[in-house]
Chain A
Amino acid sequence: MNIRAFAAALAATAVLPLGLAKAADLEVTHWWTSGGEAAAVAEFAKAFDATGNKWVDGAIAGGGSTARPIMISRITGGDPMGATQFNHGRQAQELVEAGLMRDLTAVAEKGKWKEVIKPASLLESCTIDGKIYCVPVNIHSWQWLWLNNEAFEKAGVPVPKDWNEFVAAGPKLKEAGIHPLALGGQPWQANGLFDTLLLALGGKELHEKVYVEKDAESAAGPEVKKIFDAAAQARELSIGTNVQDWNQATNMVITGKAAGQVMGDWAQGEFQIAGKVAGKDYSCLPGLGVSQYITTGGDAFYFPVLEDEEGSKAQDALAEVLVAPETQVAFNLKKGSLPIRGDVDLATANDCMKKGLEIVAQGNALTSTDQLLSPDSQSQKQDLMTEFFSSTSMTPEAAQERFAEIISSAD
């Protein structure tokens, strides 16, 4: 190495800033990389490019935990992307409070978001101090039981109509060499399964008592005890499904290695890509077939404050595009989620999506735990659930005790 080379290298680093964005290029970061997800994002990009701007895709695989530090570092480091996916609710609040996120109220008023976005709670979770800071793009609900019809045929039992029948079919399925319940190893899956059991078997009131009021007494009470007993049953049924990712677990159901999976409506996208037909090849039971409630959470896009005007204009254009009826339909059909507006025609939606739409239309959509609890409390709950579902040595009683503790200190 000589000095000249060193100096040249230094000089090169000084004059080559990484990636100078052109005027109307907008970098969008997100963590949608599975098959169905990527196809859905492509719809956004297509619609946005049609406005004359350019979507620069910044996909980062590995889910929110991989992508989020990158996004936050970029925003706090003063080199923000044009737009970024974030679970709305409590996660981005601090970034908004720090003045790092763009106020979209003007765009929202122009597009009459307050009137078209249903349920209203979606926009509410984007609103801080009366101003709108994010664009909800879809509604996801957790409370679905996905079943492979063929697997039940093979085991010689009718396809269950609700959770209890499903549990009863467990032994027969095992005899036929089929895993009754597929459950991936990622902690959030165990957590979601528990919350689903709580709402489906415990009902709306219990859900609100525990997660809205954060009532430690109910969390320690007999009704939640029943949920933990049910969770222990689910644990029993899921033994031996050694996969990590949620879609690998879904794939077990698709291929008939497992009979069922409790997973959010995004699992739908995987069935679709595999060419399966709802009602014929697989069944879906919202609310686990027991109750007709679902919780609505979802994904949203945030727009960091940009310094250049062109970029800000492109941001406005993107915000409009995301909410537009055509993009909503195209995106959500691919993603398997529900659109955020009630005024779109989803004639092409399949059986399962229609069931979901009906529940939302009836007003039986509740706020999801992701919005009710802080990410911190959710993480503690996740730690507990993943421990509980992976080790049969942990009794429901012991788990409930810790659960009540978490709820009592939850925020």
Chain B
Amino acid sequence: MANISTLNTTAAGFDAVSDQVASGPRGRKPRRTLSPRNIMLYGTLFVFALYYLLPLYVMVVTSLKGMPEVRMGNIFSPPMEITFEPWVKAWAEACTGLNCDGLSRGFWNSVRILVPSVVVSIAVASVSGYALANWRFKGSEFYFSILIIGAFIPYQVMLYPVVIALREIGVYGTLTGLVIVHTIFGMPILTLLFRNYFASLPVELFKAARIDGAGFWQIYFRIMLPMSLPIFVVAMILQVTGIWNDFLFGVVFTRPDVYPMTVQLNNIVNSVQGVKEYNVNMAATLLTGAVPLIVYFLSGRLFVRGIAAGAVKG
């Protein structure tokens, strides 16, 4: 596939050395030539970008069409007449049973569930990862292995044991209970990431602090935390996505007046009133996905950097 000149160009690109890990593209500014290499490179990326963007395009376009136009068929054609009605309907009017106030009903509930769940699950997982990386004790790796296996267990299977456990400690049906559930199911992957990240930090720092007489918590708060912004961003992104999109726990562990947004989304998407209102479905989908999407757009760069640090150094 490659001729010699392509290889040389590519290799030359790696000339510039950057000591920073994952700090973005390394090396010189890209060449602005229409070389065969660049055509192939950007061509491939472009084709893939199309595959990824196509569904988003379809969603946006459809959500701006009226039902008669949707029914006419071509899902890829731009709307002839732009209407925001599906958005209004999805947000404020779509019915779930008797409640016709759309997604707006669940938005703040989702936020109320999201914030403590993200904070607590990340706090617990980061401390655990720190203990696993720097303060190994007898059996710690055994517990960790169990957690990793736990990542493979379908949530539904654990539903009854978790319901029973929460009932026994008396927090079933409370926000505390829901926060505990999200903490439990976020543990495996988060602990893996934190453990790997903390293990990748220079050992000398830890040793020096120990010699100075610093203890478990002192080192955690004074040394580890300040150095760990990227991995916390990664954990936050994973948790915000996971918890915001969760349907099963949100509905099993709460009551109707505090159902999260995904319950309304499910109800909008799954209640078929005559014809499926695809435009409303798509608008509801985009609205529900908006929060994690915004988090991505704002923190995309940190995300890669954080993952680099968390995943690379195993």
Contact = CB atoms under 8 A, between A and B. Distances in A.
Contacts of A62: 266-267, 270
B259 to A, nearest CB: 8
A347 interface: no
A28 to B, nearest CB: 9
B120 A9 contact: yes
Contacts of A27: 255-256
Q: A16, A60, A245: which has the most chain B beta carbons within 10 Å?
A: A60
A51 interface: no
B122 A35 contact: no
Contacts of B257: 19, 56
Given A1-B119, A19-B254, A61 B270 contact: yes
A73 B252 contact: yes
Interface string B246-290: 000001111111100001001111111111100000000000000
B101 to A, nearest CB: 11
A33 to B, nearest CB: 4
A112 to B, nearest CB: 30
A9 B176 contact: no
A300 interface: no
Interface stretch (B25-33, B90-98, B187-195): B90-98
Given A56-B256, A57-B99, A61-B270, A78 B173 contact: yes
Contacts of B274: 35, 247, 251, 270, 273-274
B119 A5 contact: yes
Contacts of B272: 34, 245, 247-248
Nearest to A3: B221
A10 interface: yes
A30 B97 contact: yes
B38 interface: no
Interface in B56-100: 95-99
A12 interface: yes
A270 B274 CA distance: 7
A38 B271 contact: yes
Nearest to A75: B163
B307 interface: no
Contact of B251 (A16, A34, A70, A77): A70
A311 B8 CA distance: 79
Contacts of B122: 1
Interface in B171-193: 172-176, 178-179
B167 interface: yes
B7 interface: no
A13 interface: yes
Contact of A34 (B123, B256, B258, B273): B273
A73 B232 CA distance: 33
Contacts of B253: 77
A41 interface: yes
Q: B120, B178, B254, B270: which has the most chain A beta carbons within 10 Å?
A: B270
A236 B246 CA distance: 41
B82 to A, nearest CB: 27
A266 to B, nearest CB: 13
A41 B172 contact: no
A88 B88 CA distance: 39
Interface in A153-200: none
Nearest to B263: A60
A57 B119 contact: no
Given A6-B119, A33-B96, A251-B274, A73 B163 contact: yes
Interface residues of B, number: 48
B205 interface: no
A76 B163 contact: yes
A57 B257 CA distance: 9
Contacts of B99: 57, 59
B237 interface: no
Contacts of B95: 33, 38
Contacts of A273: 273-274
Nearest to A55: B98
B282 to A, nearest CB: 17
Interface in A4-62: 5-6, 9-10, 12-14, 16-19, 21, 27, 29-30, 32-35, 38, 41-42, 45, 55-62
Contact of A251 (B159, B174, B275): B275
Q: B99, B115, B179, B256: which has the most chain A beta carbons within 10 Å?
A: B256
Contacts of A9: 115-116, 119-120
A57 B98 contact: yes
B96 A59 contact: yes
A74 interface: yes
Contacts of A45: 98
A18 B172 contact: no
B166 interface: yes
A33 B271 contact: yes
Given A34-B272, A273-B274, A59 B173 contact: no
A33 B255 contact: no
A33 B96 CA distance: 6
A130 interface: no
Given A19-B254, A34-B273, A248-B272, 6 more contacts: A19-B255, A29-B256, A35-B273, A42-B98, A73-B252, A74-B173
21 contacts: A5-B119, A6-B123, A9-B116, A13-B116, A13-B179, A17-B174, A18-B178, A32-B97, A33-B97, A35-B274, A38-B95, A38-B271, A57-B98, A69-B156, A73-B163, A76-B163, A77-B253, A78-B172, A79-B255, A248-B272, A251-B274
Interface of B: 95-99, 115-116, 119-120, 122-123, 156, 159-160, 163-164, 166-167, 172-176, 178-179, 221, 225, 232, 251-258, 263, 266-276
Interface of A: 1, 3, 5-6, 9-10, 12-14, 16-19, 21, 27, 29-30, 32-35, 38, 41-42, 45, 55-63, 66, 69-70, 73-74, 76-79, 81, 245, 247-248, 251, 270, 273-274
